[in-house]
Amino acid sequence: MQDTQIQEQVLTLGLDDWRAGRHDAQWVAALEAGKVLYFPQLPFVLAPQEQALLRPDLLMPEVRNISLDAEGRLKGAAGDAQVQAALAGMVGRFRHQAESLVHALLPHYVPSLRMAPTSYRPAQVETRQQSWRADDRRLHIDAFPSRPNYGERILRVFANVNPAGVPRTWRVGEPFEDVARRFLPRAKRYSPLQARLLRMLRVTKSLRSEYDHLMLQLHDGMKSDMRYQETAPQMTMPFAAGSAWICFSDQTPHSVMAGQFMLEQTLHLPADRQYNPASSPLAILGRLAGHPLV
């Protein structure tokens, strides 16, 4: 189902330089409302020698992506030392450009941003075999069972580097509050006892808050409801090869339907450090629940 409101969930912008971004209050408001900022003229340009790294066989078996952590350690990559060094260089260069872009667009965030690993995803989306919970081809918002975050935002910068011009095709869904109003009535009640047990058994890395519980309920509720997947308000969005885009993936309902060869940078931000904290999922879910969730 596609309508004008859903089409407005993606904002197309003319920026063409990673280092020359500008702060724009309208862009920020759109981003913090859960919209995608799309930059069709903002390519991540590969060096000539990096073209040889556009190969799916560089991904180790049973691994979803190649990642570079904050200490510069490369994980998930096959190949000899020379190949690994080249991969680390390419992914690290993307990290630097993504960080420059975010700092220019969102200067208020800078003191509070926390860098997460940078990933390179050479696998073809269409052939991926996963359980329904892990299947990112289903509309979802990002929430992670083992990593409670107490409302910390998940900001992601993506770049499609497909050498054959193949788009990275997403579905983008309805506003977050609409999702919450739809699925919260179905959510299981939060149990502090269960949260303590999960922590004791090391299923979670820290105590799961009510916020984290509800976000998981939304994530699983969306993915398990096939009628919702088929009929929910949504649009198909092909992000062109040579383009970049940004969204809060914990707020923007999205699914990845097709594509190959993408770079992605994740940054974390405390919800109270947004320009408008009232627009965060933490604030929205708290209002709907009628009490604080962390």
List, in order of start, the domains of the chain with CATH numbers. 4-135+147-174+234-280 (2.60.120)
pLDDT-derived band at 237 (thresholds 50, 70, 90) equals very high
Residue with tokens 């604030």: 283
Give me the residue label for tokens 């073209």. Answer: 51
Per-residue pLDDT at 213 exceeds 80: yes
Of 6-10, 96-100, 207-211, least confident by mean pLDDT is: 6-10
Residue 128 banded pLDDT, cuts 50, 70, 90: confident
Tell me the C-alpha distance between 74 and 84, whole Å: 7
- Does the pLDDT at position 17 exceed 90? yes
How many Å apart are CA 267 and CA 98, to the nearest integer?
10
Model confidence at 133: pLDDT above 70:
yes
Number of C-beta neighbours around residue 116 at 10 A: 17
Predicted model pTM: 0.94
Per-residue burial over 125-141, b if 16 or more Cβ lie within 10 Å, else e, is: beeeeeeeeeebbbbbb
pLDDT tens readout for residues 53-73: 999 999 998 888 999 998 889
Using 50, 70 and 90 to split pLDDT, how confident is the model at 144? very high
Which of the two residues, 46 and 62, has the higher pLDDT score? 46
Is the predicted pLDDT of residue 7 greater than 80, yes or no?
no
